[in-house]
Amino acid sequence: MNFNNLYYFSVLASFQHYTKAAEYLCITQPSLSHAIASLEKEYGVKLFEKDGRNVKLSKYGKMLYSYISKGFKEIENGDRLLKQFAYNDAGYIDLSFLFVLGYQFVPQLIKSFNHHSEYKNIAINLKQYNTQDSINELKSGNIDISLCAYISNEPKITFLPVLKQELICIVSDQHPLAVYDSVEMEQLIPYPLIKYSEAVGEIQNVIDKLFDGCRDHPQTQSYLNEEITIAGLISTDIDHCIAIVPDLELLDRYNIKKIKLNHPDASRNIYLATANNRPMPNCVKLFYDFIKEFCQ
């Protein structure tokens, strides 16, 4: 098995053009052709087929590429990780966060981090995921740090609470409840509730528990994923619907009324999550500590 030939195969599979792949590899096109021919002789099958001036993967090439691409991805992850260990103030960090944090918190966090000249050689790659996807990406090594909700029975993940978001009720400014500045949970029961979909994560479970002890739960009006659409629908006063969401400044742009919930648990925590089954590079540790201080 010649790993150089396999790498050349992977690059050609990506470009699907001999000249472009050879230029990327800084080798001659005949050298690339020889490497591919050697692989095809070794495996006894054609890996590429002509496609005009380009080439495309054959059935067997697709089969090989499905494994090779994963392997080289892991090698690249290892190379990136080790290079980060070499410097205290340089590296490349992947941060995932809940969609609700993208409106204000994360932009302010990154702006503040970039303001410090000592972190100028640290690049932050931002990705928006729900909590379960963030945890999966942390465990696979594709994400370094996540701002997400808590999930139980995840022994490979360390969760540190760093933020608390107050939960409020929002209604149209024409809604019968709009005359109140605060309400009891019982007062919400007659009105249909816009809920979060399962894809968003645990926040709907937190909201549902606020009605424990009430005589009933509100009927469900619809399921949505994010606060902008929820606020837009609420502002139409369709069916006198209501929603329970984190208290965000962006909600003030809509024709809605924010109402405080008279409940001791009307809040949800945001956690700083990291994988504890792999070492934390220096640059990631710097950013991790910065997030903790920023949240304080």
Mean pLDDT of the chain: 90
pLDDT exceeds cutoff 70 at 82: no
Q: What angle do CA 222, 228, 231 make, to 5 degrees?
A: 60
On whether the CB atoms of residues 275 and 157 are closer than 8 A, the answer is yes
Q: Structural domains in the chain? A: 3-85 (1.10.10.10), 90-162+270-295 (3.40.190.10), 166-267 (3.40.190.290)
Q: What local confidence, expressed as pLDDT, does residue 81 receive?
A: 65
Quick one: pLDDT band at residue 7, thresholds 50, 70, 90?
Answer: confident
pLDDT exceeds cutoff 70 at 284: yes
Q: How far apart are CA 193 and CA 242, in angstroms?
A: 5
Indicate the pTM of the whole model: 0.65
* Rounded average pLDDT over 40-51: 90
CA distances from 86 to 80, 82, 89, 281 (A): 10, 7, 9, 9
- Per residue in 195-233, pLDDT (tens digit) is 998 777 678 989 999 999 899 999 999 999 889 999 999
